[in-house]
Amino acid sequence: MRIVREYAPAALVLAAGLSLWEAIVYLFSIEFYLLPAPHVIVQSLGENYPFLVEAGLYTFTEAVVGFALGCGGGMLAAMVASSSPGFAGLVLPYAVASASVPIVALAPLAIVWFGVEQGSKIAIVVLLTFFPTFVATTRGLLGVTPQSLELMRSYAASERQIFFKIRLPHSLPMIFIALRACATLAMIGAVVSEFFGGPVKSLGVYIKSTASLFQTREAWSAILVACALGLLLYFAVVLAERLAMPWHFERHEG
């Protein structure tokens, strides 16, 4: 019952939105190449299902690999930076500034550097996910109260023990906030970077080519696949968060 109460409002909003979409297309007789109705998009998805699955897995691989490398590298870099608060304070402003660079400015350069295949897309995803994870992890590791550190040191705890007993548990909520945000950024980065070049068997190239030919039903069906895969990655992170911090969810649910 708790799950029903939690997700029922979102399901009702989704159903209402799709119904409104269908009604607007029908009442105003909107041409299919401008805005196809949801049932037309689902029909197109069924017709092109084999190709969209192949293209979706190709793009999803880029997103997952880039997500793992970017977030993993961000956490490792934050652990190194947090060992020196002065150095971390010096690096953080540049990390925040680097995260604001638009993807459309970097994607063409990434293709020049890493080629038109998956390497350039993975590099873009790594760049998009590295800095948010680095910033969140660094702030989490350095946000421990001085009283907690003094208490651990009064018990002659080593820096290693302080890290695993105090700093890491304290930073987990911020780390998973960053990971959840990066899960959506990873799929967005993979798809958008494919707009600038890539094989036909990728979602970004397929969306761009079909939209340019006014085949909007096919383009929307590919967008639907990209959304589903993005949600899959997001919920995988949420599941990992529940397994890593069961006490956090028990406290909020209680």
201-214 pLDDT, tens digit per residue, is 888 889 999 888 88
- For the chain, the 3-state helix, strand and coil shares in percent, each to the nearest 5, are 85, 0, 15
Sign, CA dihedral 200-205-209-210, equals positive
* Whether pLDDT at 249 is above 70: no
CA 254 – CA 238 distance, rounded (Å): 18
What are the pLDDT digits (tens) for 8-18? 787 888 888 88
Q: Which domains, ranges and CATH numbers included, belong to the chain?
A: 54-253 (1.10.3720.10)
* Whether pLDDT at 247 is above 90: no
* Whether pLDDT at 217 is above 80: yes
* Whether pLDDT at 71 is above 90: yes
CA 203 – CA 33 distance, rounded (Å): 19
CA 207 – CA 132 distance, rounded (Å): 28
pTM of the complete model: 0.84
- What is the phi-psi region of residue 214: left when phi exceeds 0, alpha when psi lies from -120 to 50, beta otherwise? left
What are the pLDDT digits (tens) for 148-189? 777 777 777 777 777 777 888 888 889 999 999 999 999 998
What are the pLDDT digits (tens) for 31-40? 777 888 888 8
- Please give the share of the chain, as a percent, with pLDDT higher than 90: 21
Please report the pLDDT score of residue 133 as a whole number: 92
Q: What is the mean pLDDT of residues 69-89?
A: 83
Q: Which two tokens stand for residue 102?
A: 């638009």
Specify the higher pLDDT residue, 3 or 104.
104
